[in-house]
Amino acid sequence: MSEETKRSLSGTAKFGISLGSGIIAGFAAAILSQPADTLLSQINKGHGPEGSMPYRLRVLAQQAGFRGLFAGLGPRMIMTAGLVAGQFLLYGAIKDALSAPPGLEIHKENSAVHT
């Protein structure tokens, strides 16, 4: 998105972009972290066999199976999406309140030598 387009966005459009981006980021974070959090909860409850941590995690993951590792994903997605969207909105509001410049755009320079 060009700088000109960014500047011409209405407040509602900026809010919608921040909210939508936060929701998508929250869903992705919830999906990616769910299996590890499920296993961590099991370890903290004292479940699993004795042995090294990798062994315990592997056994717990095998016992839970794919579906078990993602049990409770729906509520976690809603919670995480709400939290992350709120953070995105708060960041945007603070940035606007401080009149901060737009984010830096990193452009790939042409490798040809200009003379």
The 10s digit of each residue's pLDDT in 15-68 is: 898 899 999 999 999 999 999 999 999 999 988 889 898 999 999 999 999 999
| pLDDT of 90 | 94
Taking 60 as the threshold, does the pLDDT of residue 115 lie above it? Answer: no
- In the chain, where are the structural domains located? 17-96
Output 111 or 42, whichever has higher pLDDT.
42
How many residues appear in the chain?
Answer: 115
Taking 60 as the threshold, does the pLDDT of residue 114 lie above it? Answer: no
- Reported as a pLDDT band with limits 50, 70 and 90, residue 101 is confident
Place of tokens 């296993």: 39
- The candidate with the shortest Cα–Cα distance to 34, out of 8, 7, 64, is 64
Supply the mean pLDDT for the chain.
87
Taking 90 as the threshold, does the pLDDT of residue 105 lie above it? Answer: no
